[in-house]
Amino acid sequence: MHVDLYTYLYIMEQTETLVRSIIRGIQEKKGSKIAVADLSGINGTICRNFVICQGNSPAQVEAIAESVGDMVRKELHEKPAHVVGMENAQWVAMDYTDVLVHVFLPDVRTYYDLEHLWEDAPLTQIPDLD
């Protein structure tokens, strides 16, 4: 598929807006260690960005995921295409097509180590709020 420059720039701007809204949703519930992996320059990836964070308990993981959903719906009028993992809330994945959100418990995050799964992707660490 070929897109012109203006369409490409529009898509990139929409994706960045979505990522910022997701981060606000995470921070609203004190999610920590937020990392954004930019997969847009890697051929064959399933999305443009991964947003990865963690909560300290299953209840917090669930609250973070719900906050992300609420924030994106309120700000951008979008819903995730799929959400999985809410039943045990150790790893919740939210699919916004161009952006996949992963909310982990710390030990589950360490085990799967998604940040290093895509070593070619530039990684941006978002400082925790106090």
Question: What integer best gives the mean pLDDT of the chain?
Answer: 93
What pLDDT is stored for residue 107 in this prediction? 98
Split at pLDDT 50, 70, 90, the class of 108 is very high
Q: Locate tokens 């209840």: which residue? A: 59
Position 18 confidence tier, pLDDT thresholds 50, 70, 90 = very high
Share of the chain above pLDDT 70, in %: 98
- Strand ranges of the sheet holding 91-95, from the earlier edge strand across to the other edge: 82-84, 91-95, 99-104, 49-54, 32-38, 123-126
What pLDDT, on the 0 to 100 scale, is given for residue 2?
A: 64
The answer to whether residue 88 scores a pLDDT higher than 90 is yes
